[in-house]
Amino acid sequence: MWIEATYTRDGRAITGLASQDLTAQMTRAGCEVHGVPGRCWLNNIVAVRSNDMGQTFEVLPQETEVVASLGDVYRSELTERYGYFTTSNIVQKDGAFYVFMFAQGEGTQPSGNCLFRTADPFDPMSWKGWGGSGFNVVPRPQRGAVAACQPVAPHALPHEVRSLNYITSAGVWVAAFADRRKLPGDDGPVPGFYLSTSKDLLNWTAPSRIKASPTRPRIDSHDILTSYPSIIDPGSQSPNFDTIDSPNPVLLYTVQHLRNGQGTMNRDLNYVPLRINLKAD
């Protein structure tokens, strides 16, 4: 289980969203991988809580544990991973709280970043997903039926949004993610970290490249793999660092050192200084 997002009001009590990988449970229940990457991988987003300033976290009781799920069964006809997998950080604007959750649901849920909203992030059952005309999607099966959320701007946000920030000087949101994209002047698709901006969290600009960097092992590099891009402003006025309030945020990302092209736990946290030059309209 991996903690994906946290939010605090007082610095002591912290609510969080975590990614729950149920692959082991599915294989024990009889699911066969058949050599297909992603098969038998069922995943949920669950609620966690800390009351000691983040030193320890606990999963909430079962009745309030699962925040987002496409069900508790990996169907035999599926050929890829299935469920809700990652989230952005939790952000706040005008009394509401938002988070992106990446869904992938073969035959049930279009793949992409679904936007969720709540009035209280400490109430894990209150998150509702964007359904195309409003935040009306309950992200858990109801009476056995799964309600699909509508992924937001899949051409602009094609992969998991890893960080989400509000640039106060420009009045826009910025999302960071990994991608392979051919921009004007490129000879071909370039792997790396990209950003997109939005005024309303629903309509996003064409991505811009922050940094070219290897994002697929053995294909881009046999030595390192970079991932988990996040933009953070050390000068943010928010205790949750969900705003960019200075012109000098940083890009944080993980560098994984590979062994013979394979992943290891030898990892570094790198950062690159950025400069924001967006202006309000």
* pLDDT of 88 higher than 60: yes
Helix H or strand E encompassing 63: helix 62-65
The SS3 call for residue 206 is coil
User: 119: buried, middle or exposed (CB in 10 Å: 19+, 13-18, 0-12)?
Assistant: exposed
Q: Per residue in 240-255, pLDDT tens?
A: 999 999 999 999 999 9
Write down the domain spans for the chain. Answer: 1-152, 153-281
* pLDDT of 5 higher than 90: yes
Tokens 């106060």, residue located: 168
How distant is the alpha carbon of residue 43 from its chain centre?
13
Q: How confident is the model at residue 221 (pLDDT cuts 50, 70, 90)?
A: very high
Give the range among 53-57, 59-63, 74-78, 120-124 with minimum mean pLDDT. 59-63
How distant is the alpha carbon of residue 174 from its chain centre?
13
Q: How confident is the model at residue 134 (pLDDT cuts 50, 70, 90)?
A: very high
How many CA atoms lie within 13 Å of 155's alpha carbon, on the beta-carbon side?
A: 3
Share of the chain above pLDDT 90, in %: 91
Contacts 24+ apart (CB under 8 A), 257-262: 257/223, 257/224, 258/217, 258/218, 258/221, 258/222, 258/223, 258/224, 258/225, 260/222, 261/217, 261/218, 261/222, 262/217
Q: Per residue in 198-216, pLDDT tens?
A: 999 999 999 999 999 999 9
pTM (2 decimals)? 0.94
Q: Per residue in 107-133, pLDDT tens?
A: 999 999 999 999 999 999 999 999 999
Token reading at 118: 């709540």
Average pLDDT of the segment spanning 93-115: 97
Which backbone phi and psi does 125 adopt, to 5 degrees? Answer: -85, 0
Residue 151, number of CB atoms within 10 A of its CB: 21
Q: How confident is the model at residue 141 (pLDDT cuts 50, 70, 90)?
A: confident
Pairing status of strand 58-59 against strand 190-198: unpaired
| Cα(13)–Cα(30) distance, integer angstroms | 40
| Cα(162)–Cα(251) distance, integer angstroms | 11
Nearest to 136 by CA among 118, 162, 122, 152: 118
Whole-number mean pLDDT of the chain?
95
